Amino acid sequence: MKLGLCTIAFQEKPLEEVIDIAADYGFEGIELWGKPPHLPTEYDEAYVKNIKDMAQRKGLTISAFGSYVDPLMDLHQKHFEEALKIAQALGTDLVRIWSGGGASKSIAPTDRRLILFRLVSISQWANFRNIRLGMEMHNNNFTDSVATILETIEGISLPSLKTYYQPLARSDADEPHTAAEKLSEHIVNVHAQNFDEAGKSCPIADGVVDYARIVEILNAAGYNGYLEVEFVHGDNKLEALQRDRDYLASLINAVDGDTLKDLDIAPV
205 CB neighbour count, 10 Å cutoff: 17
Indicate whether 266 pLDDT > 50. Answer: no
| Average pLDDT, integer, range 48-62 | 97
What mean pLDDT is reported for the chain? Answer: 94
Residue 76 to residue 15: CA distance in whole angstroms? 27
DSSP 246-265: HHHHHHHHHHH-S-SPP---
What percentage of the chain carries pLDDT values higher than 90?
A: 93
Give the CA dihedral 211, 185, 259, 8, nearest 10 degrees: -60
pLDDT digits (tens, 9 = 90+) for 201-228: 999 999 999 999 999 999 999 999 999 9
What pLDDT score does 259 carry?
54
pLDDT digits (tens, 9 = 90+) for 149-163: 999 999 999 999 999
What pLDDT score does 257 carry?
74
What percentage of the chain carries pLDDT values higher than 70?
A: 96
Contact assessment for residue 72 and residue 101, using Cβ atoms and an 8 Å cutoff: yes
pLDDT digits (tens, 9 = 90+) for 180-203: 999 999 999 999 999 999 999 999
Decide which of 256 and 24 is more confident: 24
What pLDDT score does 256 carry?
83
Contact assessment for residue 165 and residue 191, using Cβ atoms and an 8 Å cutoff: yes
Q: Measured between alpha carbons, how far is residue 232 from residues 119, 136, 193 in Å?
A: 32, 19, 9
In the three-class reduction of DSSP (H, G, I as helix; E, B as strand; rest coil), residue 39 is classed as coil
Indicate whether 268 pLDDT > 50. Answer: no
Give the CA dihedral 9, 13, 19, 22, nearest 10 degrees: -40
3-state DSSP of 138-169: CCCECCCCHHHHHHHHHHHCCCCEEEEECCCC
pLDDT digits (tens, 9 = 90+) for 120-173: 999 999 999 999 999 999 999 999 999 999 999 999 999 999 999 999 999 999
What pLDDT score does 265 carry?
47
Containing 2, the helix (H) or strand (E) segment is strand 2-6
- Topology of domain 2-256, CATH: TIM Barrel (3.20.20)
Asked whether the bond before 37 is cis by omega within 30 degrees of 0, the reply is yes
Indicate whether 260 pLDDT > 90. Answer: no
In the three-class reduction of DSSP (H, G, I as helix; E, B as strand; rest coil), residue 12 is classed as coil
What pLDDT score does 267 carry?
42
Taking the model in full, what pTM does it have?
0.93
171 CB neighbour count, 10 Å cutoff: 5
Domain boundaries, the chain: 2-256
Strand partners, 101: 141
What pLDDT score does 234 carry?
86
Asked whether the bond before 109 is cis by omega within 30 degrees of 0, the reply is no
